[in-house]
Structure 1
Amino acid sequence: MSRRPFQLDPRLLVSGRVLSALDWRHGAALLVVFAASLTFASAQSSAPPVAPSALATLETWTPHILRGFVLNLVMSFLAMALATVLGIGLGLLQISQSRLLRLPARFFTLLLRNSPWLVILFVIMYLLPIEIRIPGGTLIEFPDWLKATLAFSLPVTGNVSEILRGAVNSIPTGQWESADGLAFTRAQTLRWIILPQCIRRAIPPWMNWYAMLTLSTPMASIFSVHEAVWNAQSGMEAAGARPELLLPFYLFLLCLFFIYIYPIALCTRKLERKYAVVT
């Protein structure tokens, strides 16, 4: 009997199409527009002797912006790590045979997936305290960037949970039946047979969600978290009331995020093609 090739469950990639159309031409166009904005800003500036050019101002503030960009990356790493751990746990509860575990897990998954990220960010930022007192009277600070990291992890937790559920459901039922015939328990079947196959199927959408999470971290600037966007804004304010700096500074931020995200997009598309069909 011929075996039908496995098609990667499209439900796993529902959230992963944001990066599918990303191309190097977009980066080239972005660089051209960025260079044009610097030229335009220089032409619009009255350029008195004491005022540096747009390019010189951007060079002065680039280290400050890059330090903020590093914080964006740190937030994305920590948020994705937390979301992965919580999402795997929630996803395992979703596939539980117990309705008492499966139904609440399904509810929280849908709630986290369908809640606006900005709303979650506002709730977490205003709900959590600035500092936490532990037994013994010691105070532990809970900085805003850490609260924002927790907020960003929550919606991704719901999507990681759904990725795991979809990956498990995409495994042919014959493998469950074969394991049952070999007297494997359900836990043993999951651990040794099902979940190892789910890893490669879940990696592409997981990477897409990491990219989307990274692109969402600038929302933390609303709460004065000193990431890249906040630092760019503070740089423009320190340079004085110069509207011509707005476009070059923000296009520079776009270039930073594109340079970081584009390799992830390439790797994700490669993995999607690699695991699209398993013979």
Structure 2
Amino acid sequence: MSAITLHQEPRSRRVSVPTATFALTLIAIVLWLVFDPSLGQVLLQWLPYLGKGFSMNVLISVCAISLGTIAGVALGAMELAPYKFIRVPAIAYVQIFRNAPHLVLIFAATYIFPFELVIFGNYVPFPDWVKAVVGLAIPASAHIAEITRGALQSIPTTQWEASQSLGFSRLQSLRWIILPQCIKRSLPPWMNLYASITMGTALASLVGVHELLHSATDASTAVQRNDFTVVVYVTVLMAFFLFCYPVSRYTQRLEKRFALR
């Protein structure tokens, strides 16, 4: 028992590197703003503008992961289909877009889709942020397809045999018996992917989407102070960190919990 106690005490005092880095950065910024009150006042004036931009990042990430999840689950099931004409296109899609750069796909979606849509004779603008959603949803669907495929293959074949013996078709077995068991296996990597997609939303600024990075650039250009430029871009970094780091930590907790079970 004493050996176990000695082994656990250092672990309880350990501080992770990202947490320590964030804490030191936050302390440095606070001290900087305290010794330069004018800089802090300027930053406070721009915070609502930056917050509005970050809300666009969150909206794009939520929409992209939602579309990617719907398409990815279907593609993951198609990869294991017994028919070759269903399985091969799904595998090709996953292999191509899982390794494609996000920025390239965002630019492709921006130029492939029109700037306006004609609906009943009326011209309706096609927003750039929707194109960014499509550009990020494509690689997200490819990654989720692989996550789904791995989760489906981890289910024992006896589950399929038992459901067939009860009179379920293959689709019914997949919908009501197999997929619910895949949720716990898929949730940790899905959350990691969502954090990655959220950080990738900053690339949308390059195609004109008014998100956080774009807002920070506008603020830096308007104020034209080198010290404010540093502070505003560190604020962008902190915003993404505060949003993504809890997701990463919770993912680690889920992985440990499911591993113990």
Question: Common fold, TM-score beyond 0.5?
Answer: yes
Q: 2:122 aligns with which of 125, 138, 147?
A: 138
What residue in structure 2 maps to residue 251 of structure 1?
Answer: 234
What residue in structure 2 maps to residue 68 of structure 1?
Answer: 53
- Relative to the length of structure 2, the TM-score reads 0.87
Instruction: State the alpha-carbon separation in 2 of the partners of residues 22 and 130 from structure 1.
Output: 44
More helix by share: 2
Cα displacement (A) at 1:37? 5.5
Q: 2:206 aligns with which of 215, 222, 228?
A: 222
Counterpart AA for 1:110: Q
What residue in structure 2 maps to residue 185 of structure 1?
Answer: 169
1:218–1:227: 8 Å Cα contact kept in structure 2? yes
3-state SS, counterpart of residue 184 of structure 1: coil
Matched, 1:58 2:43: yes
Instruction: State the alpha-carbon separation in 2 of the partners of residues 276 and 23 from structure 1.
Output: 24
Matched, 1:99 2:84: yes
1:1-279 to structure 2, matched below 5 A, reads 23-35=18-30, 38=33, 42=36, 53-134=38-119, 136-240=120-224, 242-278=225-261
Number of equivalent positions: 246
More deviation, 140-149/185-194: 185-194
1:65–1:232: 8 Å Cα contact kept in structure 2? yes
The structure-2 alpha-carbon separation of the partners of 1:33 and 1:156, relative to structure 1 and needing over 3 Å to count, comes to farther
Cα displacement (A) at 1:124? 0.9
CA RMSD of aligned residues (A): 1.9
3-state SS, counterpart of residue 139 of structure 1: strand
Cα displacement (A) at 1:202? 0.6
Instruction: State the alpha-carbon separation in 2 of the partners of residues 129 and 182 from structure 1.
Output: 50
Instruction: State the alpha-carbon separation in 2 of the partners of residues 22 and 213 from structure 1.
Output: 22
1:22–1:262: 8 Å Cα contact kept in structure 2? no
Instruction: State the alpha-carbon separation in 1 of the partners of residues 168 and 102 from structure 2.
Output: 41
Cα displacement (A) at 1:24? 2.8
Counterpart AA for 2:240: F
**Offset from partner CA, 1:239-268 (integer Å, 9 cap, x none):** 13x222221111111111111122212221
- Asked which structure has the greater RCO (Cα within 8 Å, sep 6+), the reply is 1
Instruction: State the alpha-carbon separation in 2 of the partners of residues 62 and 98 from structure 1.
Output: 55
3-state SS, counterpart of residue 140 of structure 1: strand
Cα displacement (A) at 1:222? 1.0
Instruction: State the alpha-carbon separation in 2 of the partners of residues 247 and 197 from structure 1.
Output: 47
Counterpart AA for 1:84: T
3-state SS, counterpart of residue 98 of structure 2: helix
**Offset from partner CA, 1:208-254 (integer Å, 9 cap, x none):** 111111111111111221111111111111113x2222211111111
1:34–1:252: 8 Å Cα contact kept in structure 2? no
Cα displacement (A) at 1:69? 0.5
Counterpart AA for 2:43: L
Instruction: State the alpha-carbon separation in 2 of the partners of residues 210 and 180 from structure 1.
Output: 35
3-state SS, counterpart of residue 53 of structure 1: helix
The structure-2 alpha-carbon separation of the partners of 1:59 and 1:145, relative to structure 1 and needing over 3 Å to count, comes to same
Counterpart AA for 2:228: L
The structure-2 alpha-carbon separation of the partners of 1:227 and 1:25, relative to structure 1 and needing over 3 Å to count, comes to same
Counterpart AA for 2:85: L
1:37–1:248: 8 Å Cα contact kept in structure 2? no
Cα displacement (A) at 1:277? 4.2
Gaps of 5+ in 1: 1-20, 43-51
Give the percent of matched residue pairs that are identical in Structure 1 and Structure 2. Answer: 38
**Offset from partner CA, 1:91-132 (integer Å, 9 cap, x none):** 121111111000110000111100011111111112211111
